[in-house]
Amino acid sequence: MKSNPSICLPHLTNDIVTSARKTKLCAYSVALEGWRRGLTLKWHTVDHEKYQEMITFGVNPPGRLFSLSSKERTHYFFRTRGDKVTNEAVRIGSDKDETKVWLAKAGVPVPEGRKFEASSTDEEIIQYALEINFPLVLKPTNASLGNGVVTNIKDVKSLQKALIYVRSDLNYPEVILERYVSGEEYRVYVVEDQVIAAYNRLPANIIGDGYHTITELIDLKNRQRKKNARLFSCLIEIDNEVLDFIQSSGYTLESIPNKGEKILLREKTNVSAGGDPIDVTDELPDELKQIAIDAIKAIPGLHHGGVDIIADLNQSISTAVVIELNPTAQIGGILFPMEGKARDIPSAIIDYYFPETKGSQNKKSRIYFDFNTVLEPLSSRSSVEVEVSPAPIGKLYAKKYTVSGFVQRVSYHQWLRIQALERGLNGYINNLSNGDIDVVVAGTDKKEVNAFKEIFTAAPNKAEVKKIKEEAWKSPVKVGFDISEGYNPTSLRSVETAIKKMEKELRRLEKEKNRLEKETSKIQQSRFWKSTAWIRKLSNYAKSLIKPQANG
């Protein structure tokens, strides 16, 4: 399997969003875009009075609530949703049945089906299923991230099993039963009258290479996902559903699929369940885009958000139906897709709320702030509001200087840091294993960036500089100036830092070990594993008959 580098926007790379994961990634990407344009950025806790008025959920720990201000006004945001989206729109969008009512009233195509209250019996639901015919989809009215959604239910027995799972096991007694619509699933992000991005959500899958087993292909796919800022925590787990899919395809975990053969591992398309986000913004037919725009317009007060559509484009646009609206849509899948192009939804959102900033020089800026550092007062509960220092405004100039000689003294690095900050420069110092140092400096004053080369030799009592190599720096730069000393066995501070890093890595490995043990246990307890025990016994018996020949 080829290892594809993560696809991203040049001003929103993996390195920038390292500390912003899952729904924090959504909030950070929008907030960062506004901050870069010169808007005042503040992060809040849910205790802020404004958030007593807005519908929010899942905001602990902090990093999902923020405000952006210009001289004229302030807008408040929960993740990707700003305060122009009304609470009524959020309430409607969160109720799948009410959403269908509003969409159908506006002429937007929706699948046939109906809602059943918690008081409805399973027998009533089954009777309705027989009226509209199989295959069907069962889903909770108010769940998210695909939780409790059972698709392609083909008979009464499967429906009975799904009802027990959703209504009893998961405790979602209020459900919707509707006709199953075959086709591909698309998430379309709309801002007013414009489709900003669209991606195809493929179920978890692997593609054979004629060499690796299915288990190995899943591992390779997970390695690829770990490199992606959105997908790194959404790995493919080998559970009963995956094992059933593999078995239904006529394979075992040890089978080696042919080169180019795609094997689906799940029914659900959710990214959180191992699905692949594939950018299709340019390929999506205009008619399908219009359906998405009409769906957003159908809900009063919903000015932007995600629209989930199922359509079989090999047949006709008439097959398309809207299955869900997302007023607080996650956008990480299209910021970091598996294939295609990353799409700049954060820019479109800021354009909508602050249209006067559209011409900002900083729209594609490479400057960013450290998310964890900014959020620390909120995380420690020492503050309920944090204002981020203003971003450097204007074109960013940056250079990397590699300095050789006796240059790895801590006092020299601290002196260089002071010189950079006094000149309004950002960047970092990093020790190299050969005794050199890399120094990146960036700022909006080109002369100051270029002149910094002379600073290295201006402190002869702190360092002995023999050579300075300079080159243009095109990568993102964090605001402020960091010093990374690397590992120095003679420095207590350096040793302590190294120990902390090793302890963190040890915790990560322990967590990964526990995850693998859990997956192994699931496999060994599965019906599939138990039903194929005779194959493994036969294989072991055959191996025992093959004895190594003695050397002659």
* Residue-range domain boundaries for the chain: 14-80+343-388, 85-110+182-203+275-329, 112-179, 205-267, 397-484, 494-544
CATH of domain 85-110+182-203+275-329: 3.30.470.20
Is residue 185 within 8 A of residue 311, CB to CB? The reply is: no
Q: For residues 174 and 170, what is the distance between their CA atoms, to the nearest angstrom?
A: 11
Which residue from 260, 255, 264 is spatially nearest to 205, judged by alpha carbons? 264
Six-digit token pair at 11?
């001003």
Is residue 469 within 8 A of residue 415, CB to CB? The reply is: no
pLDDT of residue 448: 94
Which residue from 419, 422, 411 is spatially nearest to 453, judged by alpha carbons? 419
β pairing state of 150-153 and 81-82: unpaired
pLDDT of residue 490: 47
The alpha carbon of 319 is separated from its chain's Cα centroid by a whole number of angstroms, namely 29
pLDDT of residue 377: 92
Instruction: Give start and end residues of each alpha helix (H) in 51-114.
Output: 87-94, 96-105
CATH of domain 397-484: 3.30.70.100
Residues in the chain with pLDDT values less than 50: 1, 3, 490, 550-552
pLDDT of residue 307: 97
Phi, psi of 425 (to 5 degrees): -105, 150
Six-digit token pair at 431?
């020790």
Six-digit token pair at 427?
């960047």
pLDDT of residue 551: 44
Q: For residues 452 and 475, what is the distance between their CA atoms, to the nearest angstrom?
A: 19
Chain segment 440-467, per-residue pLDDT in tens: 999 999 999 999 999 999 987 888 999 9
Amino acid letter at 176? I
Identify the burial level of 206 via C-beta atoms within 10 angstroms of its C-beta, where 0-12 means exposed, 13-18 middle and 19 or more buried: buried
pLDDT of residue 4: 55
HSE-CB for 335 with a 13 A CA cutoff: 30
Six-digit token pair at 498?
């190294």
Q: For residues 121 and 119, what is the distance between their CA atoms, to the nearest angstrom?
A: 6
DSSP 3-state helix, strand, coil percentages of the chain (rounded to 5)? 35, 20, 40
Does the domain at residues 112-179 carry the CATH identifier 3.90.1150.10? no
Report pTM: 0.82
Chain segment 113-164, per-residue pLDDT in tens: 888 999 999 999 999 889 888 899 898 887 666 678 888 899 889 999 989 9
